[in-house]
Amino acid sequence: MKKTVILYAPIAHELRARLEQEFEVIFFNKIDQNNEQQFLAALPTAVGVIGTGIDIKGDRLAKAVNLKAISTISVGYDNFDVAELTAKGIRLMHTPDVLTDTTADLIFTLLMATARRIVEVSDFIHQGHWKRSVDQSLFGVDIHHKKIGIIGMGNIGQAVAKRAYLGFDMQVFYYSRHRKPEVDQQYQAVWCELDQLLKEVDFVCITLPLTKETEHLINQEKLSLMKPSAILINGGRGKIIDEQALINALKTKQIRAAGLDVFVQEPLPMDSELLQLSNVVLAPHIGSATFETRYKMAELAVENLIAALQPEKPKKNLVNREVA
């Protein structure tokens, strides 16, 4: 008899068929308050789950008494309690690499849109205000030959550095736990302390995971170190920034502007003060959201789950390597 897995995200027909070759698949398009009870009722039957966008910890995890593997269709895994999973012997698999370039593209898109005020000028035309050449009130700032500071020089950070250095002749600074000699060499990058980076650069890009150490890493004190002309881009996770401190810094023009793909609460509540500010460009957590990349992520997550549940297969994308 086939083992049962729960698929809780819409994936391509042929990828779902691949899962069905191996497992009995219980499918949910997404989990919300309408089907949460059905999801909880299915959890005890599952040896594996695959999907994205929800937490599986605490009460949910307690229901999953037969669970051996979780395959998240994402590289970030801050919605899981890795220590709790490890203690229970549950493998956590994720999808690094396949989304790196796409996410770096989005981060650079936000950087450029924020520097050149693309949303504001587009609205300006839509609202019928374009009667003559624009004046300084709609000028942006240069990107090329400026200084970029990348916080978190991992896969995505390096792909941002590549775009900045090779495409825009930018000077690259970075802050990461470890120095990366190959990055220093390839992009003439400078590894420095966070405070020094914040004081020095024109664009600050966050490409970090959310962890206990990185939560609120960028707070009021850190924002106050940035130049008033600087722009902050967040492509990591919302909670890495103290969002209220950022709102205050944007309101008072302590920094010039921000481009944000991630937020403390997602979807962003309609009463968020961020929606009142013109010097912020917002994206609804779309770093990896292209047809091609979301397909590759789902494909990898399917293979990850199959590998995680077959003792003989190598577990390449295992997060908690302590689980044998």
Query: By C-alpha distance, which of 36, 37, 42, 12 is closest to 24?
Result: 42
Residues 42-81 that bind ligand NAP (CB under 6 A): 75-76
Contacts of 194 (CB under 8 A, 6+ apart): 151, 175, 217, 222
Q: How far is the CB of 88 from ligand NAP (least distance, A)?
A: 22
List 5's β-bridge partners, or say none: 25, 48
Q: How far is the CB of 94 from ligand NAP (least distance, A)?
A: 9
Query: By C-alpha distance, which of 233, 213, 217 is closest to 280?
Result: 233
Which residue's structure tokens are 């520097």? Answer: 115
Rounded CA-CA distance 240/210 in Å is 6
Rounded CA-CA distance 72/304 in Å is 9
237 counts as catalytic = yes
Closer residue to ligand NAP in complex, CB, 126/177: 177
Residues 194-213 that bind ligand NAP (CB under 6 A): 207-211, 213
266 counts as catalytic = yes
Rounded CA-CA distance 146/169 in Å is 8
Which of the following is catalytic: 14, 36, 266, 322?
266
Which of the following is catalytic: 163, 285, 294, 299?
285
Query: By C-alpha distance, which of 37, 45, 36 is closest to 6?
Result: 45
Closer residue to ligand NAP in complex, CB, 89/181: 181
Closer residue to ligand NAP in complex, CB, 291/311: 291
Q: How far is the CB of 277 from ligand NAP (least distance, A)?
A: 20
Residue 99 in the binding site for ligand NAP (CB under 6 A):
yes
Closer residue to ligand NAP in complex, CB, 35/86: 86
303 counts as catalytic = no
Residues 255-294 that bind ligand NAP (CB under 6 A): 261-262, 285, 287-288
Rounded CA-CA distance 68/59 in Å is 17
Strand pairing report for 231-234 and 203-206: parallel
Which one of 72, 176, 293, 320 is in contact with ligand NAP (CB under 6 A)?
Answer: 176
Q: How far is the CB of 97 from ligand NAP (least distance, A)?
A: 7
Q: How far is the CB of 51 from ligand NAP (least distance, A)?
A: 16
Which one of 68, 163, 237, 239 is in contact with ligand NAP (CB under 6 A)?
Answer: 237
How many Cα atoms are found within 13 Å in the side-chain-facing hemisphere of 50?
A: 33
Query: By C-alpha distance, which of 163, 181, 43 is closest to 109?
Result: 163
- Collapsed DSSP state (helix, strand, coil) of residue 271: coil
Active-site residues, by number, are 237, 266, 285
| Residues that bind ligand NAP in the complex, under the rule CB under 6 A | 75-76, 96, 99-100, 103, 152-157, 176-178, 207-211, 213-214, 235-237, 261-262, 285, 287-288
